[in-house]
Amino acid sequence: MNIAAYAWQIGGCLLAIALAPLFAGWVTQCRAWLQNRSAPSLWQPYRILRKLLHKDAALATHASPLFRSAPYVVFATMALAAAIIPSVTTELPLARVADAIALVGLFATGRVFMALAAMDVGTAFGTLGARREMMIGFLTEPALLMVLFSTFLMFGSTALPAIVEGTLTAHQFVLHPSLAFTGVAFVMVLLAENARLPIDNPSTHLELTMIHEAMVLEYSARHLALIEWASWLKLFNYACIGFALFMPWGIVAQSADPWLLVLAIAALLLKLVIAGAALALFESMSAKLRLFRAPEFLTMAFLLAVLGLLVHLLLEV
């Protein structure tokens, strides 16, 4: 692998880190428009980060080093996940070593550190949010793995770049019935993993319903900035996983031509605009589920993923 490939690897990761707040701002803006409210600026997430990074951090008296280091670990895991996911090009040296199964492990690592940090201070809200987060993760990870296994069987590889290249090198557009089930299951997992409606509401602070927000109430300044940035980056990563699995067109297999990369970035921006609008539309049409109904929602996602796998084994092999 040449030096240019490593340069594009680092560039793709930095591009994801830079675009993640913009994507979150676009989703928030679309939700405001759909709900007939005054929309915040598209650059509002960047302003929030700048404000938080200029503040002095306030830590709990009995906070351990785990509490201080968790935001850095969570942000690092999301940045490393962005380096594995082919969003612009498939020429990613790191993605050839760490496959999609390792990607699920990175998401789980960030969740575990966030939950441990929430329980570290000993507040009631932190412990409550950590338990709810681990319950959601316990149900979403099998569904996500089943979605990935369906695509693994189609292309014979567990690496996302190989899946993208297998789709791009196909001589004709093929409709896979199994992808219809796995696509719906993936969207349900995306909503649950990123604390979106109908599982969680990212804009609420009601103690009886919040999950993600309950874990970050004790953070401030740079620590809260990293956590918010990591949550936006996680949403961006899940969107790029969906693009790689179901909409890989626009991702270039070779990064030698700079013009192809410019077109790939433009295609990524277009897909983010469409995905953000669709996500905002779905959230505006959805109501918050009761917490005890969340397992039913995620069990349905797992069953749809299993059904997609069975359809592939019975009809498409």
Residue 266 to residues 4, 46, 249, 316: CA-CA distances in angstroms?
Answer: 21, 21, 12, 33
Q: What is the pLDDT of residue 108?
A: 95
Cα atoms found within 13 Å of the Cα of residue 261, Cβ hemisphere only: 17
* Least confident interval from 4-18, 49-63, 87-101: 87-101
φ/ψ region of 7 (left if φ > 0, alpha if ψ in -120 to 50, else beta) reads alpha
Q: What is the pLDDT of residue 171?
A: 47
Average pLDDT over residues 271-295: 92
Task: Tell me the C-alpha distance between 280 and 32, whole Å.
Answer: 9
With a CB cutoff of 8 Å and minimum separation 6, the contacts of 76 are: none
Question: Which string of DSSP letters, residue by residue, matches 150-178?
Answer: HHHHHHT-S-HHHHHHHHHT-SS----HH
Handedness of CA 93, 99, 102, 104 (dihedral sign): positive
Q: What is the pLDDT of residue 178?
A: 85
Q: What is the pLDDT of residue 243?
A: 94
Average pLDDT over residues 237-250: 92
Percent of the chain residues past pLDDT 70, beyond the cut: 93
φ/ψ region of 20 (left if φ > 0, alpha if ψ in -120 to 50, else beta) reads alpha
Q: What is the pLDDT of residue 205?
A: 64
308 in Cβ contact with 180 (< 8 Å): yes
User: Taking the chain, what is the end-to-end CA distance rounded to the nearest angstrom?
Assistant: 34
Handedness of CA 101, 106, 110, 113 (dihedral sign): positive
Tens digits of residue pLDDT in 115-169: 999 999 888 888 988 999 999 999 999 999 999 998 888 877 888 888 888 777 6
Task: Tell me the C-alpha distance between 123 and 163, whole Å.
Answer: 44
Q: What is the pLDDT of residue 174?
A: 59
Tens digits of residue pLDDT in 193-220: 998 988 988 777 666 667 888 899 899 9
Q: What is the pLDDT of residue 256?
A: 59
- Answer whether 0.75 is exceeded by the pTM: yes
Q: What is the pLDDT of residue 78?
A: 97
Question: Which string of DSSP letters, residue by residue, matches the chain?
Answer: --HHHHHHHHHHHHHHHHHHHHHHHHHHHHHHHHTT-PPPPTTHHHHHHHHHHTSPP---TT--HHHHHHHHHHHHHHHHHHHHS-SSBS--HHHHHS-HHHHHHHHHHHHHHHHHHHHHS--HHHHHHHHHHHHHHHHHHHHHHHHHHHHHHHHT-S-HHHHHHHHHT-SS----HHHHHHHHHHHHHHHHHTT-TTT--TT---TTT-SHHHHSTT--HHHHHHHHHHHHHHHHHHHHHHHHHH--TT-BS--S-HHHHHHHHHHHHHHHHHHHHHHHHHHHH--PPPGGGHHHHHHHHHHHHHHHHHHIIIII-
Q: What is the pLDDT of residue 41?
A: 93
Say which residue the tokens 């987060």 belong to: 133
Tens digits of residue pLDDT in 169-197: 654 555 678 888 999 999 999 999 998 98
